Structure 1
């Protein structure tokens, strides 16, 4: 499996990253992340630091519901719903909960 770490410069203000940047949690309170041009402004999303090429896979643990996505680095980060993973031509998203899995791409 690919070893991935979250990029703190892209994390939305309502996301908390673990010390090793390996996990993220969504919270109601805005976090004091410093301003950064690559940060997601309107949606609770974060990118990984590593770029993926060729064939690769990763494993994820979760509780409740969430999203796992892949995207081109050039995804818009300052707009509205068009920035959401899976709702544009630059990203693919798997939504999951305890009872459903749904794949999204280009709306």
Structure 2
């Protein structure tokens, strides 16, 4: 996700590549082609998702992933949080290295 300056000519990255009709869209890591080059977008969308889910009142299980009936804050979303781990086909095992949300986006009370 690249929202650095909000200009209309920002690159969209590669996140929609697997959504094109007829494109392979397997989740086993063998054909994943998503992953925006870190020079274009440096903040993982996972953290934005965690921030949004927590703001909306979604709760997580003890593993940090959203869960019906959960009682914990959401700290995990997706499979990866470093573009380097999955760019080029998901060659590294799925890992969330830096769980949680962006503190700067949390509403103060």
Q: Same fold (TM over 0.5)?
A: no
> Which one has a larger percent strand, Structure 1 or Structure 2?
1
Q: TM-score by structure 1 length?
A: 0.22
> Which one has a larger percent helix, Structure 1 or Structure 2?
2
Q: TM-score by structure 2 length?
A: 0.22
In our comparison, the structure showing a higher alpha carbon Rg is 2
